Amino acid sequence: MKHAEQGRITRRQFLTRAVAVTGAAAMAPYVITSTALGGEGRPAASERITMGFIGTGGRGTALLTNFLSLPEAQVVAACDVKRPARERAQGMTNKQYTNDACVTFVDFRELIARPDIDAVTVASNDHWHVLHALAAVRAGKDVYCEKPMGLCLAQAKMLRGEVQRLGRVFQFGTQERSSWSTRLACEMVLSGWVGKIHTVKVGTRYSFAAPNFPAMPVPDWIDYDLWLGPAPWSPFTENRVSNSHWFHISDYSLGFIAGCGIHTVDMAQWGNGTDRTGPVEVEGTGTYPRDGLCDCATAWNVNLKFASGVVMNFTDGEQNTLGVRFEGTDGWVYVKERHLGGAIDAEPKSLLKRPLGADDVHLPVSNHHQQNFLECVKSRQPTAAPIETAVRSETICQLSDIAARVQRKLRWDPEKEEFVGDDEANRMLTRPMRSPWHL
């Protein structure tokens, strides 16, 4: 199918094409291949989880590599609005399986319409995450969704409600939940090894500014209108759609306050024992570019106070060491993200040699985030990073961005998930979408 034929389609064209594809598949001869029969530790085809990938750029390619290495997975489709990205994913998949069975799509709705797909990985641009995940969940697919979850809390809450209502398995891309060092650090803290926690310092990478760039003709290798999707229309530039820039443009992302910050915030939530709740107060400052293509926070310093009295200090990496430091009455524990080495440090140093005892807190063990997802698809058990904890961690990133923008103390109700007595701040919990896209 040529690129021009894979662009936007009407509902009637979409349904007609889906029926045609299904009918053709039904009439095709069924050939049992050697790979379908399994062998060499690989389950038979009937026991594998068939997967489709929406978004096959940098992060999507990394996830595809991980899933292709797992014998329980069978990747059958890849979707991306950029031709080079989807062709690369198709080539990787066909090379792994030594066949040409992987099908590519431009429009995610065509991939989701395939009845043979059990699970979908969403690794598209941040502003698409929730819409892609919602469509998959509503089509009966289980979902592995890259972080962050979206651009506003209304999107995250909608996805949570649909995952719960439809009983789908959901894994958030906060893979520190499958890191032994993060798990051990949180177990040490939750077991009381450093006394009563009073402060949690969280540091992450920050966004950057960029100049404006002149408009360019839209090239034939991208469906630009579908790339924009629910975001406001803007003139095309290659910089706008490049991974090095769109991460830092507020129409498509909250910047690294969420894109990277979600990892360390989620680690802090786990060790603070606040997976299913949130802060009661938030106050902070931030620096945002006033001109140029990129306009997300390049610096921030936010304090979030919990009902327990614990204060989470969330900053850009210039102000805090990258990672999470739990400070208690009797010492501290510090842990880096796994991709930065995952090192653990503590005071007193004797804690680093102390084994967990039978009466200490033992958190659920996952040693491979993608493998954990596949196991839970089969067992129907909660994943290492289920939708409930995902939304709570996501909320902290979004509250931090709002507080840094309004620069005044805000009261937060973690049960109602809304600001107390602040209409302006509450309006920032939702985001309009460009027609025809909606939740």
CATH, residue 278: 3.30.360.10
pLDDT digits (tens, 9 = 90+) for 289-308: 999 999 999 999 999 999 99
306-361: per-residue pLDDT in tens?
A: 999 999 999 997 655 789 999 999 999 999 987 777 799 999 999 999 999 999 99
pLDDT in the model for residue 333: 98
In terms of domains, do 140 and 206 share one? Answer: no
- Quick one: tokens of 319? 């102000």
Query: What pLDDT does 337 receive?
Result: 85
Q: Which residues in the chain show pLDDT less than 70?
A: 1-41, 318-320
Predicted local confidence at residue 44, as pLDDT: 81
Q: How many CA atoms lie within 13 A of 307 on its CB side?
A: 9
Tell me what pLDDT residue 182 has: 96
248-271: buried (b, 16+ CB within 10 Å) or exposed (e) per residue? bbbbbbbbbbbbbbbbbbbbbbbb
Could you tell me whether strands 197-204 and 311-316 are parallel, antiparallel, or unpaired per DSSP bridges? parallel
Per-residue confidence (pLDDT) for residue 205, from 0 to 100: 86
In degrees rounded to 5, what are phi and psi of residue 231?
A: -80, 155
Dihedral sign of CA atoms 227, 222, 56, 106 in order: positive
**In terms of DSSP H, where are the helices of 208-255?**
224-228, 238-241, 243-246
- Among 191, 200, 69, 55, smallest CA distance to 132 is for 55
3-state secondary structure at position 78:
strand
pLDDT for res 341:
74
Position 378 scores a pLDDT of 97
Say whether both 410 and 324 belong to one domain. Answer: yes
The pLDDT value recorded for residue 38 is 55
Residue type, 34: S
| pLDDT at res. 215 | 97
* Tally of CB atoms within 10 A around 216: 12
- Name the domain boundary from 176, 193, 225: 176
- C-alpha–C-alpha distance, residues 246 and 226, integer Å: 15
* Chosen domain end from 122, 147, 176: 176
- The answer to whether residue 435 sits within a structural domain is no
Cα separation, 95 vs 90, in Å, equals 8
- Whole-number pLDDT of residue 133: 98
Q: Do 299 and 413 fall within a single domain?
A: yes
Q: What is the pLDDT of residue 318?
A: 64
CATH code where residue 44 lies = 3.40.50.720
Domain end position, chosen among 107, 142, 176: 176
Instruction: Give me the number of domains the chain comprises.
Output: 2
What is the domain range of residue 338?
180-362+387-427
